[in-house]
Chain A
Amino acid sequence: PTLTEGWSAEKDFKPVASVTASTKRTIEPIGPHFLAHARRARHKRTFSEDDRI
Chain B
Amino acid sequence: MAENKGVAPDERTVIGLSFGNSYSSIACTVDDAAVVIANEDGDRQIPTILSYVDGEEYTGGQAKAFLIRNPKNTVVSFRDFLGQDFKSIDPTHCHAAAHAQDVDGGVSFTIQDKAEGEPSTVSVSEISTRYIRRLVQSASDYIGKKVTSAVLTVPTNFNDKQKDALVKAARDADLEVLQLVNEPVAAVLAYDARPEAKVEDKTIVVADLGGTRSDVAVVASRGGLYTILATAHDYEFAGAHLDKVLMDHFAKEFMKKNKDVDPRENARSLAKLKAESEAAKKALSIGTNASFSVESLAEGIDFQSTVNRLRYEMIARKVFEGINRLVEGVVKQAGLDVLDIDEVIMTGGTSHTPRIAANFRSIFPETTVVQAPSTSSTSINPSELLSRGAALQASLIQEYETEDIDQSTHAAVTTVPHVTNAIGVITLSEAGEEAFTPIIAPETALPARRTVHVEAPKEGGDVLIKVVEGNTHIKVTKPEPKPKENGAKDEDEDDSDFDSEEDEEEEHREKIWKIGTALAEASVRGTKKGSKVEVTVQVAADLAVTITTREVGGKGGVRGNLKAP
A53 interface residue (CB < 8 Å to B)? no
Known: A3-B523, A11-B558, A31-B189. A18 touches B463 (CB 8 A): no
State whether A17 touches B519 (Cβ < 8 A).
yes
Binds A, one of B177-185, B232-240, B260-268, B284-292: B177-185
B443 interface residue (CB < 8 Å to A)? yes
Query: Closest residue to B219 on the A side, CB-wise?
Result: A28
Q: Shortest distance in angstroms between A15's beta carbon and chain B's nearest beta carbon?
A: 5
Taking CB atoms, residues of chain A closer than 8 Å to B457 are 1-2
- When A and B form their complex, which 4 residue pairs have the shortest distance between CB atoms, in order from nearest? A33-B224, A13-B560, A3-B462, A21-B420
Q: Shortest distance in angstroms between A26's beta carbon and chain B's nearest beta carbon?
A: 5
Central interface residue in A4, A9, A16, A23, by most chain B CB within 10 Å? A16
Q: How far apart are the CA atoms of A15 and B565 in the complex, in Å?
A: 12
State whether A47 touches B447 (Cβ < 8 A).
yes
Taking CB atoms, residues of chain B closer than 8 Å to A4 are 464
Q: How far apart are the CA atoms of A22 and B181 in the complex, in Å?
A: 25
Q: How far apart are the CA atoms of A34 and B182 in the complex, in Å?
A: 14
Q: How far apart are the CA atoms of A25 and B427 in the complex, in Å?
A: 31
Interface size class of B (residues with CB under 8 A): 35 or more
Taking CB atoms, residues of chain A closer than 8 Å to B301 are none
- Taking a contact as CB atoms closer than 8 A, the residue among B224, B416, B518 that contacts A32 in the complex is B224
B:416-466 near A, CB below 8 Å: 416-421, 423, 426-428, 434, 443, 445-447, 449, 457, 461-464, 466
Query: Closest residue to A14 on the B side, CB-wise?
Result: B521
B339 interface residue (CB < 8 Å to A)? no
State whether A26 touches B411 (Cβ < 8 A).
yes
Q: How far apart are the CA atoms of A14 and B416 in the complex, in Å?
A: 28
State whether A27 touches B416 (Cβ < 8 A).
yes
A24 interface residue (CB < 8 Å to B)? yes
Known: A9-B521, A28-B227. A20 touches B397 (CB 8 A): no
Give the dominant DSSP class at B's interface: strand
30 sampled A-B residue pairs with Cβ under 8 A: A1-B466, A2-B461, A2-B462, A2-B464, A3-B523, A7-B464, A12-B522, A12-B524, A13-B521, A14-B520, A15-B562, A16-B521, A19-B419, A19-B519, A19-B545, A22-B419, A24-B416, A24-B418, A25-B418, A25-B443, A26-B415, A27-B227, A27-B445, A29-B181, A30-B181, A31-B224, A31-B226, A32-B224, A34-B224, A34-B225
Q: How far apart are the CA atoms of A8 and B425 in the complex, in Å?
A: 19
Query: Closest residue to A40 on the B side, CB-wise?
Result: B447
Report the interface size for chain A: residues with CB under 8 A from the other chain: 39
B379 interface residue (CB < 8 Å to A)? no
Taking CB atoms, residues of chain A closer than 8 Å to B516 are 20
B378 interface residue (CB < 8 Å to A)? no
State whether B543 touches A19 (Cβ < 8 A).
yes
In the complex, besides A3-B462, A13-B559, A17-B562, 20 extra interface pairs with C-beta distance below 8 angstroms are A1-B457, A1-B463, A2-B463, A7-B521, A11-B558, A12-B523, A15-B519, A17-B519, A18-B544, A22-B446, A23-B420, A25-B229, A27-B225, A28-B182, A30-B185, A31-B224, A31-B396, A33-B223, A37-B445, A38-B409
B517 interface residue (CB < 8 Å to A)? yes
Central interface residue in B225, B227, B389, B563, by most chain A CB within 10 Å? B225
B121 interface residue (CB < 8 Å to A)? no
Taking CB atoms, residues of chain B closer than 8 Å to A9 are 521-523
B296 interface residue (CB < 8 Å to A)? no
Central interface residue in B179, B445, B525, B545, by most chain A CB within 10 Å? B445
Taking CB atoms, residues of chain A closer than 8 Å to B181 are 28-30
Taking CB atoms, residues of chain A closer than 8 Å to B543 are 18-19, 22
Taking CB atoms, residues of chain B closer than 8 Å to A12 are 522-525, 558
Query: Closest residue to B181 on the A side, CB-wise?
Result: A30
Known: A1-B466, A31-B226. A13 touches B547 (CB 8 A): yes
Query: Closest residue to B421 on the A side, CB-wise?
Result: A21
B25 interface residue (CB < 8 Å to A)? no
Taking CB atoms, residues of chain A closer than 8 Å to B517 are 17, 20
Q: How far apart are the CA atoms of A14 and B193 in the complex, in Å?
A: 41
